[in-house]
Amino acid sequence: MKIDFAHKQSAHCENGVVSNLMRHNGFDISEPMVFGIGSGLLFCYIPFLKVNYAPVVTYRAMPGQIFNKFAKRVGIKIKREKFKNPKSAKAKLDENIKNDNPVGLQVGVYNLVYFPDEYRFHFNAHNLVVYGKQDDTYLISDPVMEEVTTLTHSQLEKVRFAKGAFAPKGHMYYPTAFPKELDLEKAIIKGIKQTCRDMMAPVPYVGVNGVKTIAKLIRKWPEKKGTKTANHYLGQVVRMQEEIGTGGGGFRYIYAAFLQESSKVLNNPSLAELSKEMTQIGDLWRDFAVDASRIYKNRSAKVATNLYDDVATQLETIANKEKVFFKKLKKSI
């Protein structure tokens, strides 16, 4: 059984799943619009939560929150289900496929056989769509992949019930009801306001303050933790930014695209100018990732006496620029 579902590649999994499910149901909503309305842009350092034996750094809202906020703000209803055992999860998935209803799944990355080995980490917040089944094989639309793919029943069960942080527990979700029209103007403004609040939060581990906190820690890691652990922790910061899917630099580009699109919807030219500014900030995040990766891979050609100080200074520059940016963005609406 195969549902007539249009696969479209995206930059990030949750945004792509939501955008593709919305298109399937007759609403042409772009990935950046989903991300911006859903207040997906964030920075948070979570020292007590470990992934790959290093503290978590996230550049996005918690898994599932983008869709939840997007749905609430545009007026659609969604259903989410988790399961205690794989049999119940399989039965419910098969029931939806039989009813021509493609569904989003939260899965673990490590055992996704179609992913290249270098991208298969212990990370349980990836999202994909199941849009059909042929014998014992499920048809998969993974929005970060160029083409559709497949997983056998056993392969899908393994990633649906992956263990560890953010264990998905068979998590399945899909929209159930829609308004006649989506009120994008109000939704955009609400999304922007929350992102500004989150990024300017007066706490040390969140938003621009969180970026400054990480910068301070990077300076201390070599002496406090030793070079090996310091390299591993720094690698985690970059890996969460560029590989695992929380998208530090990439999310800035998506948010810039959201502001560009929103400037037309709201007839607000200042958002188009801020879009350019956010793109430049995204470039700075990418520069940081390149320089930091040279350190933990021991391939740095820089002559600076303290390479960790250099990348820490880069993050402080980024934090200061983002502080100015979000103040201007808040005023613009």
Tell me, yes or no, whether 153 lies in a domain: yes
120 plus 247 within the same structural domain: no
Whether residue 234 is predicted with pLDDT greater than 90 in this model: the reply is: yes
19 plus 153 within the same structural domain: yes
Percent of residues, the chain, with pLDDT higher than 90: 77
> What is the predicted pLDDT for the residue at 51?
75
Contact predicate 131/155, CB 8 Å: no
End-to-end CA distance of the chain: 47
Task: Compute the average pLDDT of residues 146-157.
Answer: 97
Whether residue 134 is predicted with pLDDT greater than 50 in this model: the reply is: yes
> What is the predicted pLDDT for the residue at 63?
79
Which residues are CB-neighbours of 30 under 8 A, at least 6 positions away? 19, 257, 261
CA distance 192 to 311: 29
Contact predicate 132/147, CB 8 Å: no
Tell me, yes or no, whether 145 lies in a domain: yes
270 plus 290 within the same structural domain: yes
Quickly state the pLDDT bin for 240 (edges 50, 70, 90).
confident
pLDDT digits (tens, 9 = 90+) for 293-333: 889 877 554 434 488 999 999 999 999 999 999 999 999 99
301 plus 163 within the same structural domain: no
199 plus 223 within the same structural domain: yes
Map tokens 């939060």 to a residue: 201
> What is the predicted pLDDT for the residue at 243?
63
Task: Compute the average pLDDT of residues 68-82.
Answer: 97
CA distance 38 to 66: 4
CA distance 297 to 317: 23
167 plus 101 within the same structural domain: yes
Of 44, 22, 24, which Cα lies nearest the Cα of 33? 22
* Beta bridge partner(s), residue 150: 139
User: CATH number of the domain that 33 lies in?
Assistant: 3.90.70.10
pLDDT digits (tens, 9 = 90+) for 252-298: 999 999 999 999 999 999 999 999 999 999 999 999 998 998 898 77
Q: Is 130 helix (H, G, I), strand (E, B) or coil?
A: strand
Task: Tell me the average pLDDT of the chain.
Answer: 92
Residue 297 has a CB neighbour count (10 Å cut-off) of: 11
**Residue where a domain terminates, one of 160, 177, 194:** 177
Contact predicate 129/5, CB 8 Å: yes
How many angstroms separate the Cα of 296 from the Cα of each of 8, 45, 255, 305, 314? 35, 19, 29, 15, 16
17 plus 133 within the same structural domain: yes
> What is the predicted pLDDT for the residue at 304?
44
Range of the domain at 136: 13-37+77-177
Percent of residues, the chain, with pLDDT higher than 70: 96
| Amino acid type, 99 | N
pLDDT digits (tens, 9 = 90+) for 154-174: 999 999 999 987 899 999 999
Tell me, yes or no, whether 45 lies in a domain: no
> What is the predicted pLDDT for the residue at 121?
75
> What is the predicted pLDDT for the residue at 248?
62
Could you give the angle at the alpha carbon of 95 between the alpha carbons of 21 and 67, nearest 5°? 30
pLDDT digits (tens, 9 = 90+) for 1-38: 899 999 999 988 999 999 999 999 999 999 999 999 99
Residue 315 has a CB neighbour count (10 Å cut-off) of: 22
Tell me, yes or no, whether 47 lies in a domain: no
Task: Compute the average pLDDT of residues 219-248.
Answer: 82
CA distance 10 to 181: 24
Tell me, yes or no, whether 241 lies in a domain: yes
Quickly state the pLDDT bin for 143 (edges 50, 70, 90).
very high
How many independent structural domains does the chain possess? 2
pLDDT digits (tens, 9 = 90+) for 33-60: 999 999 999 999 999 888 778 888 888 8
